[in-house]
């Protein structure tokens, strides 16, 4: 490595300023100089340290290591190169100790080319030299280079193994990282706390519970059982793998619970669908004196989204603003989603518009919100605006966009975006993307095209994509295709109650009563139970839940009487109950009673009884809304002059003035 390479023109001025030092500096007494010198270096006063202690450094070149180390936090490559030049001038470039520090400096700066060049001319290398260069490769994402150097090493130590294991998992090559960890363990090397945390994160990424339990044993053997970071990673692994109880047990066993542990506990409950527990833990965390951060807010707001608890979501939004987390993009996108899923699209738009700099994540969240509320044209316009601004979409963006197209009947646009995704952006569609297209084709009546797509797509179809086509068969009353498609669904998920019900309903609509009996018998034989329809709403921060013909609610008798009056009023405005949807052997009066007591109608009746006139009503439902309820709620919205917002398993319906935002396309 020639001197000129690390000797820019400014170096001459830098170097000459040190050649003619004052007599005082040259004759400074030695006893305390090391402490003062290292103190200056630790404060980043590199030039001053060199200026004051030039003679001592020149007499004892290993002191250059402190100067080299001091310029790394300053992120000053030019200063580093000047120091390298001074090392060469001092004749110390062959010193392995100093060379390793220079190697570390270039690696930390991300200048892999300079690090490799220096490594190649080093006369004497050791394990430390190679470890530093491996970390240099990993820092710039060059896993192949790191692994090649690792394979060529004549000897390795624990740090070598730790670096590579962590590197692979950091870049989400979890299987490779875990395989290396096994080799490390077999070779007798001891992992450190950082490695164990990374390996547990890899297990979580793969949802490899059995492997995670083995790593847990290793954690205990290595003495990290009460380590806060390792403990939190261990709890996260269990929760991510679906074993919430084991994760909670790990956190309970920790001697103290820090913010990371609280966030792990809250996030674990959120990921496993225990939204009410999340809100309880959130309150406990604050009572324990901890202040929520951006990670906490994302988990808690996500739970508010799932529960559709708008009041609590609004309170947490206020806390977000108080803690100055409202500019964090992850929190912004979660707020957009929360308001959207609680039925407040306008609030989602407001949060998005107040975002100082819209990025890919927030735009994708807003596209999803538009799609969920049936505003496909707005979703497309936002996507086109993104492209003009130079924001490159990812697979999540396209999934939201295709979903929006499928729920608005934008068939041509949807197919156009699928091509754009692959041809322009080189993104391979996953099964979820194809599910949106199958939904789009199926709703449009192109059932044969939809089936052909499933059978020819390059990824393996799952039960959901076949069930999507089965729903389309119901819409278009194609019983023959439905039987064939149902077989595909039940091969993949024989316990899926929705598919049996769909198939039964399709046969009933075609008056194929024998087939209906066969389907129901199969359900009984396989002990498959129909998922009950549940609707819920929030009034004054209290959630009220209803099931069909539910008598458990304290106001069930009043609701029953009110529904009779409401049904009579609806009939006077042209409502005719669609008794064909009741697929049981009973008389018409019983069928009408059954229809009038669907869970969403009970929830709406309760809301009309307990909210002020003119206030919007927001109801959430776990299944798709039936066609009779859809017609009924349109009429209710008109005669009661209310906006009624219903979130079903598929999308949002905004009922107002006798019309629905879905335009009867759902």
CB of 463 closer than 8 Å to CB of 492: yes
pLDDT in tens, 135-153: 999 989 899 999 999 999 9
Q: Taking the CB of residue 657, how many other CB atoms lie within 10 A of it?
A: 10
State the chain's mean pLDDT as an integer.
87
Task: Establish if 593 belongs to a structural domain.
Answer: yes
E strand or H helix that includes residue 621: strand 617-621
**Residues 585, 504 within the same domain:** no
Which residues does residue 544 pair with via DSSP β-bridges, in sequence order?
537
Residue 303 lies in a domain: no
Please tell me the distance from the alpha carbon of residue 75 to that of residue 82, in angstroms, as a whole number. 14
Do residue 621 and residue 562 come from a single domain? yes
pLDDT at 299: 96
How far is the C-alpha of 641 from the C-alpha of 648, rounded, in Å?
22
Q: Which of 97, 90, 78 is nearest to 6 (CA)?
A: 78
Alpha-carbon span 3 to 606, nearest angstrom? 84
- pLDDT tens profile 625-650: 888 899 999 999 999 999 999 998 88
Residues 461, 435 contacting (CB under 8 angstroms) = no
Answer yes or no: are the C-beta atoms of 445 and 477 closer than 8 Å. Answer: no
CA distance 276 to 238: 20
Q: What pLDDT band is residue 35 in, cutting at 50, 70 and 90?
A: confident
- Residue whose C-alpha is closest to residue 299's, from 246, 340, 262: 262
Residues 540 and 561 in one domain: yes
Containing domain of residue 511, as a range? 430-531
Question: Which residue is associated with the tokens 């929760």?
Answer: 239
Q: What pLDDT score does 1 carry? A: 34
Answer yes or no: do 515 and 562 share one domain: no
- Name 656's bridge partners: 659
What is the pTM (predicted TM-score) of this model? 0.77
Asked if residue 468 is part of any domain, the answer here is yes
Residues β-bridged to residue 547: 534
Q: How many CB atoms lie within 10 A of CB 460?
A: 8
Instruction: Count CB atoms within 10 A of the CB of residue 608.
Output: 18
* Residue 411 to residue 402: CA distance in whole angstroms: 10
Q: What is the CATH number of the domain that holds 509?
A: 1.25.40.10
Task: For residue range 101-142, list pLDDT tens digits in order.
Answer: 999 999 999 899 999 999 998 888 899 999 999 999 998 989
Last residue of a domain, one of 500, 531, 562: 531
Q: Does 521 lie in the same domain as 442? A: yes
What are 360-377's pLDDT values in tens digits?
999 999 999 999 998 999
CB 531 within 8 A of CB 622: yes
Specify whether 654 is located in the same domain as 541: yes
The answer to whether the CB of 158 falls within 8 A of the CB of 192 is yes
For the stretch 304-359, pLDDT in tens is 998 888 999 999 999 999 988 888 889 999 999 999 999 999 999 999 999 887 88
* Residue-level pLDDT at 592: 65
Asked if pLDDT for residue 178 goes beyond 80, the answer is yes
Rounded Cα gap, residues 306 and 310, in angstroms: 10
The percentage of residues in the chain with a pLDDT greater than 90, rounded to a whole number, is 56
| Domain identity same for 559 and 492 | no
Residue 234 has pLDDT above 70, yes or no: yes
pLDDT at 129: 93
Give 139's contacts (C-beta < 8 A, 6+ positions apart): 107, 108, 110, 112
Query: Does 148 reside within a domain?
Result: no
Q: How far is CA 310 from the centre of its chain?
A: 21
**Does residue 524 register a pLDDT over 60?**
yes
Which of 516, 531, 546 is the endpoint of a domain? 531
Q: Report the pLDDT value the prediction gives residue 590, as an integer from 0 to 100.
A: 60
385 vs 489: which has the higher pLDDT: 385
Does 639 share its domain with 572?
yes
pLDDT of residue 300: 96
300, part of any domain: no
DSSP-derived letter for residue 6 is G
Whole-number pLDDT of residue 665? 66
Residue 23, pLDDT above cutoff 70: no
What one-character DSSP code corresponds to residue 542?
E
pLDDT band at 450 (very low <50, low <70, confident <90, very high): very high
- Let me know if residue 523 belongs to a domain: yes
The total of structural domains in the chain comes to 2
Residues 649 and 547 in one domain: yes
Same domain, 502 and 539: no
Domain boundary among 503, 531, 559: 531
- DSSP 8-state secondary structure symbol assigned to residue 192: -
Percent of the chain, pLDDT > 70? 92
Q: What is the largest CA-CA distance in the chain?
A: 112
- Whether 331 is in a domain gets the answer no
One domain, residues 527 and 539? no
Residues 639 and 544 reside in one and the same domain: yes
Window from 56-60, 299-303, 385-389, 585-589 with minimum mean pLDDT: 585-589
In a domain, 501, yes or no: yes
Q: Is residue 26 scored above 80 in pLDDT?
A: no
């Amino acid at each position: 490595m020639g001197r000129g390479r690390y000797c820019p023109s400014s170096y001459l001025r830098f170097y000459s300023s040190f050649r003619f030092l004052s007599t005082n500096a040259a004759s400074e007494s030695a006893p305390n100089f090391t402490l003062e010198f290292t103190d200056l270096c630790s404060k980043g006063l590199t030039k001053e340290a060199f200026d004051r202690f030039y003679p001592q450094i020149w007499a004892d070149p290993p002191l250059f290591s402190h100067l080299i180390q001091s310029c790394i936090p300053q992120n000053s490559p030019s200063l580093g190169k000047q120091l390298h030049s001074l090392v060469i001038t001092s004749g110390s470039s062959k010193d392995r100790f100093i060379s390793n520090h220079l190697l570390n400096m270039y690696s930390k700066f991300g200048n892999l080319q300079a690090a490799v060049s220096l490594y190649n001319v080093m006369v004497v290398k050791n394990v430390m030299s190679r470890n530093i260069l491996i970390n240099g490769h990993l820092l710039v994402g060059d896993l192949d280079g790191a692994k090649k150097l690792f394979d060529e090493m004549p000897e390795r130590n624990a740090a070598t193994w730790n670096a590579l294991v962590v590197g692979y998992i950091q870049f989400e090559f979890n299987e490779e990282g875990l395989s290396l960890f096994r080799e490390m363990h077999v070779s007798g090397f001891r992992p450190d706390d950082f490695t164990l945390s990374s390996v547990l994160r890899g297990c979580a990424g793969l949802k490899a519970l059995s492997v995670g339990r083995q790593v847990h044993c290793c954690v205990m053997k290595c003495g990290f059982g009460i380590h806060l970071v390792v403990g939190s990673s261990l709890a996260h692994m269990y929760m991510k793998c679906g074993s919430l109880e084991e994760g909670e047990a790990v956190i309970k066993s920790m001697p103290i619970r820090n913010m990371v542990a609280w966030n792990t506990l809250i996030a674990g409950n959120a990921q496993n669908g225990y939204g009410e527990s999340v809100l309880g833990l959130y309150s406990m965390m604050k009572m324990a004196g901890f202040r929520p951060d951006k990670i906490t807010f994302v988990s808690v707001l996500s739970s508010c989204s799932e529960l559709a608890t708008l009041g609590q979501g609004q309170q947490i939004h206020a806390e977000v603003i108080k803690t100055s987390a409202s500019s964090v993009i992850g929190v912004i996108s979660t707020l957009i989603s929360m308001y959207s899923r609680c039925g407040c699209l306008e609030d989602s738009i407001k949060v998005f518009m107040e975002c100082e700099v819209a990025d890919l994540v927030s735009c994708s969240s807003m596209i999803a919100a538009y799609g969920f509320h049936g505003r496909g044209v707005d979703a497309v316009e936002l996507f086109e605006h993104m492209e003009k601004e130079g924001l490159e979409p990812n697979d999540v963006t396209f999934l939201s966009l295709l979903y929006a197209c499928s729920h608005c009947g934008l068939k041509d646009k949807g197919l156009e975006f699928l091509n754009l995704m692959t041809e322009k952006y080189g993104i391979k569609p996953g099964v979820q993307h194809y599910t949106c297209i199958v939904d789009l084709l199926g709703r449009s009546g192109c059932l044969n095209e939809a089936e052909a797509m499933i059978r020819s797509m390059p990824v393996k179809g799952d039960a959901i994509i076949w069930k999507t086509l089965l729903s389309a068969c119901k819409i278009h009353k194609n019983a023959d295709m439905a039987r064939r498609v149902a077989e595909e669904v039940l091969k993949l998920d024989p316990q899926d109650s929705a598919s049996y019900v769909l198939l039964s309903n399709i046969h009933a609509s075609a008056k194929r009563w024998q087939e209906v009996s066969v389907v129901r018998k199969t359900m009984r034989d396989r002990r498959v139970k129909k998922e009950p329809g549940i609707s819920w709403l929030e009034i004054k921060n209290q959630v009220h839940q209803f099931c069909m013909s539910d008598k458990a609610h304290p106001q069930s008798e009043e609701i029953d009487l009110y529904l009779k009056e409401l049904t009579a009023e609806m009939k006077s405005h042209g409502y005719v109950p669609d008794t064909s949807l009741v697929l049981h052997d009973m008389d018409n009066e019983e069928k009408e009673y059954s229809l009038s007591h669907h869970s969403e109608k009970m929830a709406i009746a309760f809301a009309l009884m307990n909210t002020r006139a003119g206030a919007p009503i927001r109801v959430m439902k776990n299944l798709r809304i039936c066609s009779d309820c859809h017609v009924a709620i349109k009429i209710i919205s008109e005669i009661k002059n209310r906006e009624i917002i219903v979130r079903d398993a598929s999308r949002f319906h905004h009922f107002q003035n006798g019309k629905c935002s879905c335009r009867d396309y759902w």
